[in-house]
A and B are shown apart, each in its own frame.
Chain A
């Protein structure tokens, strides 16, 4: 038996198919992964993401410490509640994890990390926090529900009218505390919505209230096809410690503007220009792309890192790591089960806000 979230019994009672994900027993779908995917693109769906870990950071040195720990610069977070997506790098520039950090006050931040890397991340942070006068508190007492889709916010407000005033002004990538909950306008689907952090004991009632307001329960299967269509990386699949952020389509998250900011991994990134890049592939022949398939382009060879059927596009797409000389519009061949299939190189995202982008 794996770890279980506060919503585990709720999922089982709803008939979810449960699978192992990074040591957690998680719902992969409640019947049809494709129907759940469409619910998020067209209306509103919700995911139990309580397996991710919120880590609260507190101390007078929190800000300078994070500016050194993360490749993106928390110095650009001005208003309380603003969120930043960042990689946390090794000294050699490899990606330890990707995470979201929320600025709560100049001495207080919340960091949300992936489930599979949570223990490793916390150990890495603690080793670097020694003597810095910082408190790092893992919050396994919390549950997280991601409510996503074009009607996610309005259905959230229908379920929790008292939270509307506090959450309606939230801009994209901004969160706020409301009645003991933390509501942020973030997500991992390419749609609008909220990620809602609540005390564990409040999670089942919150889930049922959202369902009663017309939000469709969705499993991690739909979460994966939605994030792939949105061109978002999955840590451990599209990137890991063996590759850097620039080779992973995340150069935009590496903030080099402050030349004096000596963040972990900076010198390694400067010393080694990337030879590879992450691009999108759209399959033109019939079939389904999967991870770890060989990709042949005019400018050299590479490999898919994620691949699936994309329900919004009704065709197969992939992310692939290829030489930097490969360009959008190039033709590629992908080796799929012994056959060479034709694909086109594109710049992700493939789909966002309910629509195809390619």
Chain B
């Protein structure tokens, strides 16, 4: 299973990365894209929207089904990846290179509440 050690993870299969500018980049894990199958549509949050940690804020649709994506931390959406919207299959090709949105967190300490790679591997294995 491909679970990069430098990222943080939510139990709902999102990855999160703290950037140098203080924003948090969010995508779905390789395990999640594998489980979903061919991804054909993304609905991403509008920049400017405020979200709480755990709030539904995006939808990833595969041929098979639609899945909600949850904000791993609370804050303001500052960017959505239009390239991914235009080519949803890029999530299947590289789930870690294809980020979905960026959040400016209200409290960066919330990242500490997320899982590290080892803990997420156990979540993914039991899923």
Contact = CB atoms under 8 A, between A and B. Distances in A.
Interface stretch (A29-37, A196-204, A249-257): A29-37
Interface in B91-106: 92
B61 A221 contact: no
B44 to A, nearest CB: 12
A305 interface: no
**Which of A28, A287, A288 has most chain B Cβ within 10 Å?**
A288
Given A288-B66, A290-B66, A33 B61 contact: no
Interface residues of A, number: 17
Contacts of A34: 38, 40, 63
Contacts of B37: 17, 28-29, 32-33, 221
B3 interface: no
Which size bracket describes the interface of B in this complex? 10 to 19
Contact of B63 (A17, A286, A309): A309
Given A288-B61, A337-B59, A309 B41 contact: yes
Contacts of A28: 37, 64
Interface in B40-76: 40-41, 43, 59, 61, 63-66
A240 B16 CA distance: 45
Nearest to B43: A287
Interface in A14-55: 17, 28-29, 32-34
B117 to A, nearest CB: 24
Contacts of A290: 65-66
Contact of A32 (B38, B43, B59, B65): B38
A288 B38 contact: no
Contacts of B43: 287
A246 to B, nearest CB: 30
Interface of B: 37-38, 40-41, 43, 59, 61, 63-66, 92
The 6 closest A-B pairs by CB, nearest first: A309-B40, A34-B38, A288-B61, A309-B63, A33-B38, A288-B41
